[in-house]
Amino acid sequence: MNKKSLRRLALIGAASSALVVSLLTPAQAARGTVIVHDTNPLTGFNSSVVGFNLVTNSNVGYLSGMGFGYYDDKKRWIQNTTFGSYKIVSNKSNDFRVQYTVNPGRLWSDGTPITGVDLLLSHVICSPDYAKEAGLGETTATRAFNASCYSGIYGTQVAGDPILSSDKMSVTVRYKKRFPDWWLYGPGPSPVHTLVHLADTKTGLQSVASNEKARDAFEKAFSSKDTATLKDLGKVWSTAYNLQDVNAATTNPLLWVGNGGFLVSSAIKNQSVTMKANPRYNSGPAVTGSIDNVVWKFVADGNPAIQALANGEIDIYNGQVTADGLASLRKISSVTVVPGIASTYEHWDPRVGNTPGEPAYTGIFAGYSAKATDLRRAFLLCVPREEIVTKLIAPINPDIPVLRSVAVTPDMDIYNDVIRANGSAYYVGAQDSLNKRGLALVRKYVPNALNNPIKVSVLVPGNNARRAAEFELVKANARKCGFDLVGDVQAAWPGLTFSSKYDVNFFGWASTSTAQAALRANWYTDLSNNRSGFSDPEMNRLLDELANKPMSEKVKAQTFIKVERILNDKGLTLPVFQFPAVLAYNKDIKGVKLAPLSPTTVWNFWEWSY
């Protein structure tokens, strides 16, 4: 299944200098190791588990697993015909069927053949109907597989269970009807035999014969909807990968079986993840490069990361650079600097309610009363977007404007049509004027707000200088509107975005696809990316339309307008800017290409070489 990833943020921390100590030397890199920088540390190795949908996590997953397709650096969907194929086998109005076939000879890294049985786990973790029938739980709080896709597009479209072919190399999935971007939501492969072994408390790699027997056991449990067995597998799937330290000598190797180009070898919490080339890799584009190891190094953005690049201690930098940082990068003669515009966008979101499993949110923005709505709108009016873009973004890329849509970006043909009618004009104007309007709304409820401002608790992602500067700009301006922002800087911030403790979140959403229904998980009631606790029947209806109906560009624009009018009218989110992408890498490395969609840097790892 496709993953929706959220982009990370950060502040330079005192501990960052200690991270450089264990970096590999350039001499080691010359022997086939690429050291890739990331600002935020990995939080777990299964980014499909709720709360672990972090770009860092999914980047590691991208290297270790291959499926039916991927996006290139032009945002084009590329079918991975090396792994397998998919084709429509029924195209009736109420019976849309797609057959997904694994090519013979594809192997997991432990030598076990990949078959269609390995595609069935996607259905278990993403179909609410299957979960209900198998007794795996019907709600977010009770489901055995704590999967973010549980009520996603696949789950709303699939009809019945997939049918396994007689040779067990294909599965045919029946959908209720043809739906937009259907090719993006099909099943992906998982080494189901390892889940069975892990549930049986095995601690080492097993023989191929034992693995095939375990795969047969999974198939039997899937077909019979064996609740007890599936719950055991669900516990493993939901918890076993949620670790940050990996010792090559002691961590269970069953966790790292994959079919990607690189496999996890070791990891040091908050410092690094080391991945080694998979000698049995044959599920994706042929490797034309000469890379034996990929090491992810987590170094606070800004001077520490740039200095590490200059010293040859990291090979690829792709952070949230400041203007000064970009100038420093361009002074390093040994690196190539590639600018661009990413599909990630920055946004500020007031909280409305609690997310599943969190205590009730009772803060200043809670609920849908006139007061709560006015205060949310007032707060967003006082986020100084023009100042943020002028001071923090334009020096890096002057072509990036203030963003006025969360559904479309300025490079899209329908952008101007959308922003003319989506209600975003309410938040546009000279900042002094916006401040006066915001303050007037605040004074309806707190007349002396300038002298006794409203406290606003803000989760501030740690480890990034640009984010720190952004928060300070918002804090200073919001004070003019009667708000006193109290920032809580947290390096391990992604899981905290669900917390009822905070009145406001700000971070970036990193797009992983061009899907028409990409917004659904962010704003649909209780779905995995809905961090603000927002719930609205009309919003759900519109998001279901985007998921269910193939649309012309004109109709799509009109639907996006309706969605965004709700967001703007209720004061739910304020987009600020698209990220200025800056990729800098060791000139000795060939084949590195910057892509706008996540995973921006490693999408074509098979082409890398020295």
In the numeric block, which tokens belong to residue 64? 């270790």
pLDDT at 4 > cutoff 70: no
How high is the pLDDT of residue 12? 18
Question: Where in the chain is CATH 3.90.76.10?
Answer: 84-199
Secondary structure class of 575 (helix, strand, coil): strand
Taking residues 579-601, report their average pLDDT. 93
In the numeric block, which tokens belong to residue 439? 């303050």
Is 574 within 8 Å of 470 (Cβ atoms)?
Answer: no
CA distances from 326 to 219, 303, 320, 582 (A): 52, 11, 10, 8
Topology of the domain covering 84-199: Dipeptide-binding Protein; domain 1 (3.90.76)
How high is the pLDDT of residue 572? 98
Q: Which residues contact 151 (CB under 8 A, 6 or more apart)?
A: 128, 524, 526, 527
Taking residues 555-580, report their average pLDDT. 97
Q: Per-residue pLDDT tens for 214-272?
A: 999 999 999 999 999 999 999 999 999 999 999 988 999 999 999 999 999 999 999 99
The phi-psi region of residue 607 (left if phi > 0; otherwise alpha if psi is between -120 and 50; otherwise beta) is alpha
Q: How does DSSP assign 144-203, residue by residue? A: SS-BTTTTSHHHHHB-S--EE-TTSSEEEEEESS--TTGGGSS-----HHHHHHHHTT--
Comparison of pLDDT for 22 and 518, the residue scoring more: 518
Instruction: Give the residue among 294, 374, 321, 311 at the shortest CA–CA distance from 592.
Output: 294
Q: Which residues contact 472 (CB under 8 A, 6 or more apart)?
A: none
Q: Residue 475's pLDDT band (boundaries 50, 70, 90)? A: very high
Taking residues 445-450, report their average pLDDT. 98
How high is the pLDDT of residue 584? 96
Q: What is the mean pLDDT of the chain?
A: 92
Q: Per-residue pLDDT tens for 517-541?
A: 989 989 999 888 899 999 999 999 9
Supply the CATH classification number for the domain 342-579.
Answer: 3.10.105.10
How high is the pLDDT of residue 360? 97
CA 506 from centre of chain: 15
Q: Residue 290's pLDDT band (boundaries 50, 70, 90)? A: confident
Q: Per-residue pLDDT tens for 27-83?
A: 444 458 999 999 889 999 999 998 898 899 999 999 999 999 999 999 999 999 999
First-last CA distance in the chain: 33
Question: Where in the chain is CATH 3.10.105.10?
Answer: 342-579
**81 half-sphere exposure, CB direction, 13 A CA radius:** 2
Q: Decide: residue 333, CB within 10 A, 0-12 exposed, 13-18 middle, 19+ buried.
A: exposed
How high is the pLDDT of residue 537? 97
Amino acid found at 415: Y
Question: Where in the chain is CATH 3.40.190.10?
Answer: 5-73+241-341+582-607
pLDDT at 154 > cutoff 50: yes
How high is the pLDDT of residue 31? 54
Taking residues 378-404, report their average pLDDT. 97
pLDDT at 361 > cutoff 80: yes
Amino acid found at 522: N
CATH 3.40.190.10 correct for 5-73+241-341+582-607: yes
Taking residues 499-516, report their average pLDDT. 93
d(CA 34, CA 319): 16
Beta strand pairing status for 33-38 and 163-164?
A: unpaired
Q: Which residues contact 541 (CB under 8 A, 6 or more apart)?
A: none
Taking residues 537-556, report their average pLDDT. 95
Q: Residue 21's pLDDT band (boundaries 50, 70, 90)? A: very low
